[in-house]
Amino acid sequence: MISQDELAKVGTGVSHEKIFQKIKSHYEYFFKNWSTFPQAIKSMYVVSNGCKAHPTLITLIDNAKSIVRALPKVPTLQDSIDLAIIVRSGDFEFLYHDSDSDGVKMGAYARYILDNFIDEV
């Protein structure tokens, strides 16, 4: 769940294209650098309270990499909505609470798109 405080970090009047690029850039960075992350960082994604949170993490990462590679350079509104849905409930869900360099969670970006643009489709 994304709090109102987290959602406020996105700002107001932000275009769906800008948010799409923020999400896409974050995931591109994550997948490009996964193999170089220290084990302590990888453990945050693989282990939760001593239990494996994502036993199929490799499959999730492979699926998500494929999705990121297929994302368009310039998104339509539907592309942005589809990406937001994937972040919230699909192959990117394991990175939902990741924050970008601006301190904004991917889930907040996804919620912003769904709250502000879904009626325009």
pLDDT tens string 95-117: 888 899 999 999 999 999 999 99
What pLDDT sits at residue 42? 73
What pLDDT sits at residue 56? 57
What pLDDT sits at residue 90? 67
The DSSP secondary structure of 79-92, one letter per residue, reads HHHHHHHHHHHSTT
What pLDDT sits at residue 41? 77
Residue 88 is part of which domain span? 4-120
Coil, strand, or helix at residue 48? strand
Token pair in block for residue 25: 């850039």
Q: Can you list the residues of the chain whose pLDDT is less than 70? A: 45-59, 90, 121
What pLDDT sits at residue 23? 95
Q: Name the amino acid, one letter, at 109.
A: Y
Q: How many domains does the chain have?
A: 1
